[in-house]
Amino acid sequence: MCLAIPLQLTKIDGVNAIGEAMGMSREIRVDFIPEPKLGDYVIVHAGFAIERLPERQALDDLEAWAEVRDALR
């Protein structure tokens, strides 16, 4: 099972991209996402975006992750 934080694409350069969420950013590849666009939310595994998420689902997931983070503080 993959526990991933949705990342929002903030920069795309060919198959390379930057994804950001919750104050962090990661270099990722978008080879497996057809027609990636700035602002898309994706799930990343091993450095590759493997699935595009609807914005509402991504925001709900990020809210749940924030609750987990806050509970561990």
pLDDT 10s per residue in the chain (73 long)? 567 889 999 999 999 999 999 999 999 999 999 999 999 999 999 999 999 999 999 999 999 999 998 999 8
C-beta atoms surrounding 73 within 10 Å:
4
The CATH classification of domain 7-71, taken from the options 1.20.1370.10, 2.40.70.10, 2.30.30.140, 3.40.50.970: 2.30.30.140
The model carries a pTM of 0.90
CA 50 to CA 44: how far, in whole Å?
6
Q: Look at residue 1 in the predicted model and tell me its pLDDT.
A: 58
Domain boundaries, given as residue ranges, for the chain: 7-71
Q: Look at residue 55 in the predicted model and tell me its pLDDT.
A: 96
For residue 21 the two structure tokens come to: 């969420």
Q: Look at residue 73 in the predicted model and tell me its pLDDT.
A: 87
